[in-house]
Amino acid sequence: MPEWINILLRSTGSLVILFLFTKWLGKKQLSEMNVFEYITGIVIGSIVAFIAADLDGNVFHGLLALSVWFIIPFAAEFLSQKSKTFRNIIEGKGTVFIQDGKIMEDNLKKERYTTDDLLEKLRDKNIFRVADVEFAVLESSGALSVLPKKENQPLTAKIIGMTVAPEKESQTVIMDGKVLMEPLANLSLNTNWLETELDKMNISIENVFLGQADSDGQLTVDLYDDKISVPGPSEKPLLFATLKKCQADLELFALATENQQAKQVYQTNSNKLQHAIDLIAPYLKS
Amino acid sequence: MTVGSQVKSCYSSLKSADAQLGILANKAQDQETRQTYQDVQNIISEIKEDLQKEVIRIGQEEPQYKN
């Protein structure tokens, strides 16, 4: 067998094996590798390279070594899923660097972190003052997780006690001028609806590069032709304005009429409508 | 515009808002959102009914302005 065929066979074979192994070892490897997994990856790569290119070497020796480097990390991962103690050994535990706003110098020393390293990591999280930090922990993956003090956390609707409408994910319903049926069905809408909405905006589907519908069935589109401006969804703002106008009208009628009974009717209904507007405002404004 | 026609126009605005809310409630995917739309739609329907009576009453009071 000529050498080049040998190399072709070995390369293709090891490529397939490598592909399968990395699939089985899981996605976790890439995103949050600890040192052990990192080294495993490198070693598996080197062994595969050896199998592919070293013609003097025995293929089966290579495969044997490869399976050891596959099976042990695989088993370790499996066991660490089952047992917490094992997981602590394999993946390590996080080290607390800042607790109650105070830096734990001993822990820094233990992880061989200098003050500069810590400051750099904090700056990475957009924190320039250690005093702003309530709690920080060095994860086993090497990333620093930081919890800023409450007053330094970004303002959320919960903090200011605002009611917000729940929002489901939007679905992409048009891509490259073509309708995607499945996302459309997920929103329980159909192509008829889509055509009507596009007609309302006075555009044809061929001109749509990307169209998304939110969970309230509002369509937003981006066109190929960027010179055409597309009106944004106006349904909800219009409805909100209508409701507010009606409320003001009712109040006006209540003031204008001299019939006591009618005044009463207008007044109660105006209050009722105000209550309804308060209820629905978060939904219509989003 | 007479008072009668003003009340009438307010009534039809409410009618359209009522219908719009019905459409939104039907399209909403989230249960809570749908519930809110429906609740508000019910309130609006009640107001609408009251206002309709008012429209009729005004029509009887001032038949000369009935268009």
> What's the ipTM?
0.89
| pLDDT value at residue A170 | 87
User: Domain coordinates of chain B in residue numbers?
Assistant: 3-60
Mean pLDDT of chain A: 86
Contact B29 A262 (CB under 8 A): no
**Runs of H (alpha helix) within A191-259:** 191-201, 235-256
- Map residue A103 onto helix, strand or coil: strand
Instruction: Output A58 or B17, whichever has higher pLDDT.
Output: B17
Residue with the larger pLDDT of the pair B2 and A158: A158
Residues B60, B64, B67, CA angle at the centre, nearest 5°?
90
The answer to whether B8 contacts chain A (CB < 8 Å) is no
Positions in chain A whose pLDDT score sits under 70: 1, 26-34, 286
CA-nearest residue of chain B to A269? B47
Give A-chain residues touching B28 at CB under 8 angstroms. Answer: 215-217
Alpha-carbon dihedral sign for residues A249, A255, A258, A259: positive
- Expressed in angstroms, the distance from the first to the final Cα of chain A is 70
User: Strand, helix or coil at A2?
Assistant: coil
- Dihedral angle at the C-alpha atoms of A110, A116, A118, A124, nearest 10 degrees? -150
pLDDT of residue A29: 54
Cβ-based burial of A159 (10 A; exposed 0-12, middle 13-18, buried ≥19)? exposed
In degrees, rounded to 5, the angle at the alpha carbon of residue A212 between the alpha carbons of residues A208 and A218 is 110
DSSP A159-188: TTT------PPPEEEEETTEE-HHHHHHTT
| Distance (Å) from the alpha carbon of B64 to chain A's nearest alpha carbon | 18
Cβ separation B36–A167 shorter than 8 A: no
- pLDDT value at residue A172: 92
A interface toward B at CB cutoff 8 Å? 165-168, 187-189, 215-217, 235-236, 238-239, 242-243, 245-246, 249-250, 253, 256-257, 262, 265-266, 269, 272-273, 275-276, 279-280, 283
User: Of the candidates A71, A55, A65, which has an alpha carbon nearest to the alpha carbon of residue A10?
Assistant: A55
pLDDT of residue A134: 93
Q: Identify from B5, B9, B33, B56 which residue to disrupt to test chain A contact, counting A C-beta atoms within 10 A and taking the largest count.
A: B33
A188 neighbourhood in chain B, CB within 8 Å: 29
Q: Which long-range contacts (CB under 8 A, 24 or more apart) does A147-152 make?
A: A149/A101, A152/A127
Output the pLDDT for position A69.
Answer: 86
As a whole number of angstroms, the distance between CA A248 and CA A238 comes to 15
CA atoms of A145 and A267, how far apart (whole Å): 55
Please give the share of chain B, as a percent, with pLDDT higher than 90. Answer: 34
Question: Would the pLDDT of B61 be above 60?
Answer: yes
Q: What is the pLDDT of residue A248?
A: 93
DSSP label of A280: H
The pLDDT of residue A261 is 87
Contact (CB, 8 A) for A280 and A243: yes
